[in-house]
Amino acid sequence: MEFASEMIIRAAQERVRISEVPTSLRPDGRDRKPHLRTWRDGWRHLRFMLLFSPAWLFLVPGFASVAIGLGLTFAVAFARIEMFGHRLQTHFALLGSAIALVGLQVALLGVFAKTLFVLDGIGKSQGIERLIEGFRLEIAIAAGALAFLAGTFIDARILIHWLRTAGGELGAGFTNLAIFGGTLIGLGVEIIFSSFFVSILKSSRTKRWV
């Protein structure tokens, strides 16, 4: 089953023209039971297609999770959000933070996979090809550093307030802000070190790709 799918997938990746040829199917006349298994073979087929599509396996759910998680954390920290008559509190800020951090990690795995596919000649992707050609480590580091510094600034303001109040108890509002700041710090660190990894991939495989 995978061989038939691989031919179509590889042809689509190479932008080869694909046509359908009508055929007629007849019973094979064998008296034994069919050797195909719906769930086993269906999963093998789906698994094969997912492995050849890092965008749908990693990038789409990853970036969607980042947007949802970061938006939830931001909303809890800076706005009054109510659901079913109850205000969303720290628990939802922590949930959003976890979703955003995990989502970015998944999305970055997709970037790594797509980069390897293109550099090793397994598939073609105009977006990734443009990313590889125009990738600048310094710009990526600056983007990650910006998120890191923004989070550090937020948490530093909270620390200063805590020191001025002689270590007094911080309310839920400050806690939610701290979670948002910590999330930005985590996202920034992931972006910085992932940028170095993409740079390593580019430098180690550029000759083969070119």
pLDDT in tens, 134-148: 788 899 999 999 999
| Mean pLDDT taken over the chain | 82
Beta bridge partners of 83: 86
User: Distance (Å, rounded) from C-alpha 63 to C-alpha 65?
Assistant: 5
Task: Please state the rounded mean pLDDT for residues 36-41.
Answer: 74
User: Distance (Å, rounded) from C-alpha 202 to C-alpha 118?
Assistant: 10
Amino acid at 139: I
Estimate to the nearest angstrom the gap between the alpha carbon of 110 and the chain centroid.
6
For the chain, give every domain's residue range. Answer: 2-9+52-209
Amino acid at 96: G
Percent of the chain having pLDDT more than 70?
A: 83
Are the C-beta atoms of 123 and 11 separated by less than 8 Å?
A: no
User: Distance (Å, rounded) from C-alpha 143 to C-alpha 50?
Assistant: 30
pLDDT at res. 125 = 66
Are the C-beta atoms of 93 and 76 separated by less than 8 Å?
A: yes
